[in-house]
Structure 1
Amino acid sequence: MSPRFDPTHLQLSVAYLAAQILVLGILTVWTRSFVGLGFALIAQAVSILPPRLWPYPVLIIAGLLGQSWRLYDDFPNGDWAVIAAFFFNTLLFTSMFVAFALVARQREQMKALVEQVQQAREGAEALAAHNAQLAEERRQTIAALEAARRELAAAERAAGVLEERQRLARDIHDTLAQSFTSIVMHLEAAEPQLERVSDSAHRHVGQARQSARDGLAEARRLVWALRPEALDQASLPEALERLAGRWSEASGVAATTTITGAPRPLPAEVEVTLLRVAQEALANVRKHARATTVTLTLSFMDDALLLDVQDDGVGFVSGVAPGARGEGGFGLTGMRERVARLGGSLSVESAPGEGTTVVVELRAD
């Protein structure tokens, strides 16, 4: 009675065992020689059914064997009503076994379905959480890309503005400045030859010469404001050190540069302004201070940027600063205006005999 089906299929297992139980009941009533098959059938039921089901066929088979042993002597000459009752009970018990097996199978399927639903719900929750995380990462990535795009656009605009400023400075230097210089030279060369002309002619020549000089000074101021050559290939700290070195050689006054804090990249307009302030302050020291030493200090702080230009010269009374308008540059007044456009401040500290300190403070941002 070896099975010819896959025992993992519960429905086939139950049907197969039910058929064997029914056949066993008939055979054991017919002859006791088949009683041993009942024990083999019990072993088979235990081996192919899940643990929750095999007690049912075992009880049915055991009861069937007991009944068939008692009815053997009455068959075929016995009470047919008793024999019919035996077969009815056999069918009833077999049907109950099948019913129990089907109910158990449905419960197992329901349990498996509930577990699948639970797993699906947990999977859906995990997927929703993962999708939310991906959406947040996508939002952050888009925000970062947008910020990078804005920064790149600003950098491109700044680079374009700086390049245009440098081009204008070169054009002014190569055209207007050279032309004004040539006019001044020609007028100065012609002036000695105009001794016998009228005073009116002298006056017109003098006015022309002064206009040419004014135009030349204006061209130089434009070049000064537009194109800081010292920053073309160097950072602001390096440009200040080179400026101090060249100024010291030209003036004979000792000049040192000190950098404090951690240097960081600065906007081009900030670097240009600080370099121009340092140049103008040194020009004033050379013209008015009669100093022996000058110190330039650039301080990188967390929330501010400071530039100090300090000399040990004669100083002056506060409010009466020499070089207020500057010559060829843009003077203390121009320095203050330019620093103010960047949201900063410029102060001058001085007293007679105590030297002078020019302090520029800009916000770190």
Structure 2
Amino acid sequence: MDFKNKNLYYLKIGMSVINFLILAFFSIVTGFTIHYVNQNFSARNFLENVTYLPMESVRMTVVTFVAFFLLLLIIEMRSRKKKNAIFTFVIYGMELLLCLIIIRCLYIGYNGIILLVVADIVTSIRDKHNRALFLVIMGLLYIFSDYNIISVFFKMISFQEFLNVYNSNISMILMGVRNMLVSLNILVFIVYMIILMRNQMKENARIALLNIQLETANAKLKEMNAQLQDYAQMQEKMGETKERNRIAREIHDTLGHTMTGLSAGIDACIAMIDFSVDETKKQLNKISKVARQGIQDIRRSVNKLRPDALEHLNLEAALEKMMEEMMEVSDVAIRYQCEVPVLKFNPDEEDAIYRVVQEGITNAIRHGKASNIEINIKKENKWLILSIQDDGVGCEEIKSGFGLIHIRERIQMLNGEVTYDGSHGFHIVAKIPIRWGENYD
């Protein structure tokens, strides 16, 4: 229990003690008055001056304190148990009933016990609607639990009529003690509400500060994410540039070496062709070997740009493997349909088809947040039609990024065309003029 809650807890205990003293005061005064009247044989005068017969004093006292301690027990038990709507209504219904019993036993001479229940309500009920409902009920009960109002409808003796038995000095002293205790109860209740409101204001200010700090942290986090994305893109571009330069150097070295050898060999042939045809033929054979070796070296360098899957599998198997791997590592469902017989495409065509499908799936998952992707390959006359449709967020205004630009460049290198549609998810349609090869067995 923290310091703020301790203050409220001690104030509630103080209110309980004050209410106990008030109930004891009323019980003692009414019980002693009835005993005093009987001892002085003035019962007849007392009965002639009261409007209604009082209850038996012992029974009244027992009922009052039983109801009071039950009320305290219910308040304590309610604070220790898990709350729900039905439990809350039952508990506060019981508290309301016990308050009515206590007020009735005190001849409507004291209704400050209601303030103890109100203090419990504003602390324990978190739901605003339920709290307002109970506060309205207890407020109305506090206002209308007045002897002057109740006596119009129900006949009962008032506390003042008990005091009329004594002389004016004793009557004034007893009424002063009663008013002092009632005022003390009201004062403690007011202090309780002030501290509760201050605690609530501090809590609201703390929550507002936490919200501001959270918003600031979110803004910084977004900024850091943007910086990380920029850094990742820069690293990716640097890696691509490094790899591109490496392959370019390898091709340059191979091609330069081959062309230098061819140039030197051709110069030698030119120099000796007029003197020895046989030696020229031998030299041409050597040039031919150098040229073939150079071609093989260049092809090997270029082939390093191909996807690894196409190095070991045919196009259809490579596509299926890529889709299966993507479905295994993500929640996306990919439905693939190929209406074209398995054909032997040229490497550049296979590369383009594979890369377009790969980029389409990547964009659908990364940018479109898609759950389902449909890929269809079919033939229309001399065209191969590749369609990639997803159910992602799409976009009304399509701005070509790195991936879409690469897709367009790859298709255009094959003299094809590509269109995009972001109205319902994202749809990519690529048309490629295929140099149809021979069927596989």
Q: TM-score, normalised by structure 2?
A: 0.31
Larger Rg: 1
Q: TM-score, normalised by structure 1?
A: 0.37
